Amino acid sequence: MRHPWLRFALRRAAGFAVSLAVLVTVTFLITQLVPGDPVRASLGPTAPASLVQERRAALHLDEPVPRQFLYYVEGLLSGDFGRSFTSGRPVAEVIADRFPMTLRLALAAFVLTLLVAVPLGTAIAVLTRGGRRPGAEKSFSLATGFVLSVPEYLMATALVALFAVTLDWLPITGSSGWTAYVLPLAAVSAAPIAVLARITRVETLKVLDQEYMRVARGKRLPRRLLYVRHALPNTLTATLTVGGMLLAGLVAGTVIVENVFSWPGLGTAIVEAIPQKNYPLVQAIALLLGTIVLLVNFVVDMLLARLDPRSLIGES
Amino acid sequence: MGRKRLSPARVAMLAVFGVLLALALVGPMLWGDRAAAVDLERLGEGASWAHPFGTDDLGRDMLARVLVATRLSLVLALLTAGLGCGLGLLLGLLPTVLGPRLGKLAGSAIGLLLALPGLLLALLVATITGVGATGAVVGLAVAIAPAFARLTQTLAAQVAGSEYVAAARMTGISLPRLMLRHVLPNIAPALVLQVAMAIGGALLALSALSFLGLGVQEPQYDWGALLNAGLDRIYVTPAAALGPGIAIIVAGVAFNVTGDALAGALAGETIRPARRSGRGRSRSAAASSAVPASGPSAAGSDAVLQVDGLSVTFEGEGGTLTPVRDVSFSVAAGERVGIVGESGSGKSLTALAIADLIEPPGTVQAERLALHGRDPRELPERERRRLLVTSLAMVFQDPLSSLNPVLRIERQVGEAAQAHLGATRGQARVRAVEQLRELRIPGAARRMRQHPHELSGGMRQRVTIAMGLTTRPSLIVADEPTTALDVTVQRQVLRVLRRVNAEHGTAVVLISHDISVISAFCERVLVMYAGRVVEELAADRMRVDAAHPYTRALLAATPTLDADLDRPLATIPGRQPALDAVPGGCAFAPRCAHASDRCRERLPLLETLGEGRRVACWHPQGAALPVREQEMKR
C-alpha cells in the first residue's frame, strides 16, 4: 500500500475496536456471573418479590442471554446505561455528574507529570552526564526510588497528615477552589513523575551519547536547539510509550486517591457502588474507564508513529 | 564469577524481610490477645507510652493490631501472587503449547488483557465475587496474571525456538513432558524473580483494596483496613494512620529491595560498558609527559589550523588517562593532511579536540589551538561558535548514526546555515538543496523531504558531508569517513571530498587506520602511536622517506601492486600499550626490532629531518635519511 502510515492506523484502529468489544462483553458478563440473582443480591433478602420482579424485567434478566446482550449493546449505543439500583437515577446522569471531576484530576495530573518529569529527567541527565555531580545523581535516584515504593493511597494519607492536619495549609476534602487540587494532584502524580523522570533520564543519556548528537554539537547549534530539536524527539519515543501507560495507570491512581480526599468523581462512585452491588453503575464506570485507557493507548501508538517514522517499518 | 557482595543497605533490608517473616509466624500468638482487648476507657486515644500508635475506636492497641495484621497481610499477598502467577503461567504457556495458529490467538488475548488496567480487572472480579478477602485475592490474581503470562510467553517462545527443544521434539516426547522437562526449568529463574516482585506488588495492592473497604472485612483486619480506620480519625489522632502506614512502606520497600537483590544475583555482576574514557585505569599516566616537542612544521599566517602541544585527558575514578599527548601540527589552506594510526592511537580524539567536541570527563590542554590564527577557547561563546562553524566541519565514521533519525534531511542540512548565517528557513532550504546538488546527490529536492533511514549508505555519507559544508568551512576533518562503507562507495565518498578540496580550496584532514587510503588521498601524513605523533612526512614519498620503524612496519603490512604475492604480508608483533601502561620511553620500543636501552628510558622527541619531515625516534631507519642528520641524532 502506498501509505504505510494509513495502513498502520487502520491496523491499530481494528485492534482498538476488538479490545472495546471485549471490554463490553466483560462488563456485560458481570450480571451473568454474579452467583444467584443479581437483583435479589443487591436489594437484600427482605425486599418484596414484586420489586425484584420489576427490576429483573427492567434489566431483561428473564430473557435468553444473547438477547440480554443485544439489549445491553443497544442501550450503550443509545447512551442508556440503565438506572442506579440505589438511587434510581439514570446511570448516564450520575456519570455526567462525576466524570468531569475525575477527568479534571487525571488530566491535570498527566500534564503535571509531563511538565515536571520530562524537564527534570532531561536536566538530571544533562547535568550528571560523564560522571559530573555524582551527588545530584544519587539524590535523584534515592528520591525517586523512595517515592516509587510508596503506594498512592499512602502517599495521599501522608500528604493529608502533613499538609492538612499538622501544618493546616491545605484543605483535605471538597472542591473549594484551586487549593483543593493541590494534595490530590500531588498524590496522584508523585509516582508517575518518579517513573517518567527516571526513564527520561536514562533515555536522554542514551540519546546524548549518540553520534548524531555529536554531529549536532559540531554544527554549533544553540543549546536550546540541541536539546529541544535534536535530543528531545528521540527521547520522547520511549517517554511517550511509558507516558501512555502512565496515563492508563493514572486512571487507577485516581480511583484510589479520590477516596482519600472524598473527591466526587468516578473513583468514589465505583468504590461505593461495589459493596452496594449497584451493578449498572459498576458496569458503566468500568466500561468508561477501560475505554479511556484503550483510547489513550491507541492515541499514543498513533503519535509514536508520527514522531518516529522508523516505527512504521516493522509493521509493513 | 565471584559471589556478589551485599551492600550494608541490602543486608539491612534482608534483615527487615526476616523480621517481617518472623512477625507473620509468631505475631498473632504473642500479641493476639492484646490486639483484641477492648478498653472502653481509652477509645480512640493518641500516642502514649502504653499505646505508641494510640488505640482504635474500641480502645484496642494499634501497635499490637499492626503487628498481628502482619500475618494476614503477608498470607493474602502470598496467596494472591501464587494464584496470579499460576494463572499467568498456564495462560503464558498456551501460545507455545497450542501451536502457531491457536497460539497466536492466545497471544493476542494476553495482549488484550494487558491493555486493561489491573485495578479495573480486580474491581470487576470483586464485584462478581462480592466484597471481602476472597474477592480481593481472586480479583488481584486476575489482575496480576496477564503481565506474568506475557513474560512466560516471551521466555517460553525463546526456549521453544532453541535447538535442544527441537531435538527433544524429534524424540517424540509428549507435550506436557516437553514443557515440564525442557521448557519450564529453563525459564524458571526469571519467573521466580517475577513471583518475588509480584508478592510485593500484591501486598501493596491488597492493602489498597482493604483501604478502599473492598478487601478484608471486619472482624478480620490487615494493614490496609487498619489504615482505612486510621484515616477516618486522622484529624484527631494522626498516629493511628502512622502505624499501618509505616508497616506498609517498610514491607513494600523490603520486597522491592529483595527483588532487586534476587535480580542482581540472577543476572550476575553487570559490567558497565566502557566509555571512551574508560579503557583502562591509570596510576602514573601523566608522569611521563616530557618537554614539548619542536614547533609545528608548516606554521605561517596562511595556516587554517595550528595545533601546539595538544593533550586530551580523562579524569576517571582510577586516575587520569592521557590518550592524546603533546600533539603539534598545522594544516595550510587547501591542504590535504592524513592522520594514520591503529585504533587507540588517539587520532580520533585529536580530531574531536580540534573541533572542540571533547565532552566531560575529558578535558583538552593545548599551548595553542588556532583556526585562522584565532583560538576559539579565548573567544566569547557567540564568536567561538561562529569561528568554529565557518572554519571547520566534521565528518564521522558511520553516516547512519551521524544523522538524527527523526529529522528530515532538509532540517539537518539546512539548520547550521539558519543558525549561523542568519538565513531564513526558506533560504536555508535553498542552500541545502544547492549543497546536495553540488555533491551530485541524485534527486536532491526529493531527498530533502526524506528521513535518514530512507537513504543508502553512500548517500547518507554524502549528506553528512553536505551538512558540514553549508557554512562554507575552510577545513573538513573526516574521521574514518569510509570505514563503514563498502569499497565502491568508499571511492565515491573520497571523490566527493577530493572535489570539494579542488573546487573550493577546502583543506581536508583525513583520519584513517588504512595507510593506503591516506597515502592515495593526502599530500602530507602524520603517523600517530600511543597518543603521540611519531612521524610526519610527504604522502608521495612515504615508502622512500619513512624513518620511524612503526611507519615502516605499517607500510610493510600494506600490500602494493608490485608486491610479491607468494610472500606473506608482514605483521607488527605485539600490540599498542594500554592507556594506563604507556611506557616512560618510546612507546613503540617493546615492539621495535631496533630498540635499545635508550629507547626504553628516554622519550624521543619529534625532530625535524628536512622540509615537511619530522620523526620521533632514537634510531631512525632508511637509506634516504641524510647521513648528517642521522649522525646528529646519535
Note whether B153 and B107 are within 8 A (CB). yes
Query: pLDDT tens-digit profile of A70-89?
Result: 888 888 888 888 888 878 88
Backbone angles phi, psi at A170, to 5 degrees: -130, 150
State the smallest CA–CA distance between residue A78 and chain B in angstroms.
23
A248 touches chain B (CB under 8 A): yes
| Contact status, residue B231 vs residue B223, Cβ threshold 8 Å | no
Domain ranges of chain B: 9-266, 543-555+569-634
pLDDT of residue B528: 92
pLDDT digits (tens, 9 = 90+) for A226-243: 888 888 888 887 777 777
- CA-to-CA distance for B513 and B338, rounded, in angstroms? 10
ipTM, two decimals, is: 0.81
One CATH from 1.10.3720.10, 2.40.128.280, 3.30.1600.10, 3.40.1390.20 for A96-275: 1.10.3720.10
In total, chain B counts a number of residues equal to 634
Tell me if A19 and B208 make a contact (CB, 8 A cut-off).
Answer: no
A220 at B interface, C-beta within 8 A: yes
Tell me how far apart the alpha carbons of residues B415 and B412 are, in angstroms, rounded to a whole number.
Answer: 6
- So what's the pLDDT on residue B163? 66
Q: Do A307 and B406 touch (CB under 8 A)?
A: yes
User: What CATH number was assigned to the domain covering residues B9-266?
Assistant: 1.10.3720.10
Q: In this structure, is the dihedral angle defined by the CA atoms of residues A117, A119, A120 and A126, taken in order, positive or negative? A: positive
**pLDDT value at residue B522:** 92
| 3-class DSSP assignment, residue B609 | strand
Give the number of A-B residue pairs with CB atoms closer than 8 Å. Answer: 184
Distance of CA A129 to the CA centre of its chain: 32
Partner B, chain A 145-164, Cβ-Cβ below 8 Å: 148-154, 157-158, 160-161
Check B227 against A153: CB less than 8 A apart: yes
Q: CB of B168 within 8 A of CB of B182?
A: yes
Residue A175 Cα to chain centre, angstroms: 21
Query: Low-confidence residues of chain B, pLDDT below 50?
Result: 1-4, 268-301, 626-634
Q: How far apart are CA A212 and CA A219, in angstroms?
A: 11
Distance from CA of B627 to the nearest CA of A (A): 46
Q: Which of B26, B137, B121, B22 is nearest to B79 (CA)?
A: B137
Nearest-Cα distance to chain A for B142, in Å, is: 13
Q: Chain B: nearest CA to A27, how far in angstroms?
A: 8
Q: Which of A7, A97, A34 is nearest to A305 (CA)?
A: A7
- CB-based contact A160 B451, cutoff 8 Å: no
Contact A282 B127 (CB under 8 A): yes
Pair B473, B506: CB distance under 8 Å: yes
Distance (Å, whole) CA B263 – CA B271:
15
Which pLDDT belongs to residue B561? 59
pLDDT reported for residue B194: 78
Residue numbers of B between 120 and 179 with CB closer than 8 Å to A: 120, 123-124, 126-128, 130-131
Using an 8 Å CB-CB cutoff, list chain B residues near A161: 234, 238, 241-242
Cβ <8 Å between B357 and A230? no
Q: How far does A161 lie from chain B, in Å, by closest CA?
A: 7
Query: How much is the mean pLDDT over chain A?
Result: 82
Helix, strand, coil shares of chain B, percent, nearest 5, are 55, 10, 35
Angle between helices A91-128 and A134-149 (to 10 degrees): 160
Q: Which of A172, A163, A238, A249 is nearest to A205 (CA)?
A: A238
Q: Which chain A residues have a beta carbon less than 8 Å from that of B410?
A: none
Nearest to A212 among B118, B204, B403 (CB): B403
* pLDDT score recorded for residue B26: 86
Q: Which residues in chain B are contacts of A249 at CB distance < 8 A?
A: 117
Question: For the segment A141-177, what is each residue's pLDDT rounded down to a tens digit?
Answer: 888 888 877 888 888 888 887 787 777 777 666 556 6
Residue A85: predicted pLDDT: 80
pTM: 0.74
**Nearest CA to A72 among A62, A83, A60, A84?**
A60
The residues near B536 (Cβ < 8 Å, ≥ 6 apart) are: B297, B329, B524, B525, B526, B527, B606, B612, B613, B614, B615
Contacts of B72 (CB under 8 A, 6+ apart): B216, B220, B221, B222
How many other C-beta atoms lie within 10 A of the C-beta of residue B496? 22
Q: Distance (Å, rounded) from C-alpha B615 to C-alpha B518? A: 18
* Chain A nearest CA to B144, separation (Å): 14
- Which of A300-303's residues contact partners 24+ apart within 8 Å by CB, and which partners? A300/A240, A300/A241, A300/A243, A300/A244, A300/A247, A301/A12, A301/A244, A302/A9, A302/A12, A303/A240
Residue type, B624: A
CB contact under 8 A, B415 and A225: yes
Instruction: Mutation target for B interface from A16, A25, A149, A294: give the one with most B CBs within 10 A.
Output: A149
Residue of A nearest to B231 (CA): A157
- Taking Cα atoms as reference points, which of A209, A230, A237, A223 lies closest to residue B412? A230
Tell me whether residues A154 and B214 touch, CB distance under 8 A. no
Q: Where are the domains of chain A?
A: 1-86+302-316, 96-275
Interface of B with A in 445-504 (CB under 8 A): 451, 453, 464, 467-468
Question: Residue B579 gets which letter from DSSP?
Answer: G
Beta strand pairing call for B507-512 and B319-332: unpaired
Cβ <8 Å between A220 and B241: no
β-partners of residue A193 are none
Report d(CA A285, CA B173) in Å as an integer.
49
Q: CB-CB: which of B212, B230, B238 is closest to A259? A: B212
Higher pLDDT, A124 or A223: A124
C-alpha cell recorded at residue B293: 616537542
Q: Measure in Å the smallest separation between the Cα of B176 and chain A Cα atoms.
A: 30
